[in-house]
Amino acid sequence: MSNTAISVTDLSKRYGDRMAVSHATFEVPLGTICGFVGPNGSGKTTTMRMLLGLITPTGGTGEILGQSIEHPEKYLPQVGAMIEGPAFYPALSGSENLKYLATLGGFSTDRVQHLLDQVGLGDRAKSKYKTYSLGMKQRLGIAAALLPNPKLLMLDEPTNGLDPEGIQEVRALLRSLANDGTSVFVSSHLLSELELISDYLVMLRKGEVVFTGKMSDLMLDQQPVIIAKASHDGELAMLLKIAENAGHRAIIRDGAVHVEGPAEWAVDFNRAAFDAGITLSQLTPQLPNLEETFFEMTGEN
């Protein structure tokens, strides 16, 4: 029996002259949470759609739960998914929508109320879907994905529209599912959240895999970062040049200069800025995190 939930080799999808996904190769071990990240347009949703049999790959091979993606009917009954946002009947309640989907899919309706409670919609089970907020719609989508009691759960931006409390609840839910043996493959733009829950990570850039492996291995390879802000935005370019002239990699992002380097170098950086007539309003050494690593590896600025 395969010990991977997802395994793909050279998976590709071409639209005309554009390669949406190019020779993607990665594995997701069983019973783990794997974060799936990349800039907008990097091929995340296209990859998920290929894995679910919604679109046909141009090339490459893949397996889901030990079954070839050429025969999705063999593994889809064991897969729950929410891709590109949920869609339900507006005039039906949350409970009615789930019961309808369960009946269509051949699943038991006995778990519907439990699932609604699990995603925090228990007290709105009888409310019509059209009255739901964006966050509530996302919660219902997650509940629908859990109807098959899946071995593999695939979620595309599941925390979209959720408030901080809701995000924390989804994080706890996914961790609980993984602890019970469910494999989770989840994309999100909230990199700090993925860093908290993911065991593994797959990172895409322009349709190509730029990292696949354990989250801990990725973070161990990263340099600490020093974040510096000047009193005047016009001085950021000067700070950037100071860092680069000292042999450090640096970029300007979010109104600050982000410099790769040990915390001890912050003293030298401050002194060099002072000598150049620049007053710093912030100088913060920071340990590596997924967001910094993402921007560095994908070239996003």
Give first-to-last CA distance, the chain, whole Å. 43
Neighbours of 171 (CB within 10 A): 18
Q: Is the pLDDT of residue 301 over 60?
A: no
Instruction: Please give the model's pTM, rounded to 2 decimal places.
Output: 0.78
Neighbours of 61 (CB within 10 A): 14
53: domain CATH number is 3.40.50.300
Q: Is the pLDDT of residue 185 over 80?
A: yes
Top-confidence residue, 2 or 141: 141
Question: pLDDT of 26-56, one tens digit each?
Answer: 999 999 999 999 988 899 999 999 999 999 9
Residue 24 counted as domain residue: yes
131 and 194 inside one domain: yes
Q: Which domain holds residue 165?
A: 4-215
Residue 233 counted as domain residue: yes
pLDDT band at 221 (very low <50, low <70, confident <90, very high): low
With both helix axes pointing from N to C terminus, report the angle between 134-145 and 164-179 in degrees, rounded to the nearest 10.
10
Q: Is the pLDDT of residue 189 over 90?
A: no
Question: pLDDT of 252-268, one tens digit each?
Answer: 888 899 888 887 888 99
d(CA 75, CA 94): 27
Residue 220 counted as domain residue: no
154 and 276 inside one domain: no
241 and 172 inside one domain: no
- Strand pairing class (18-29; 200-205): unpaired
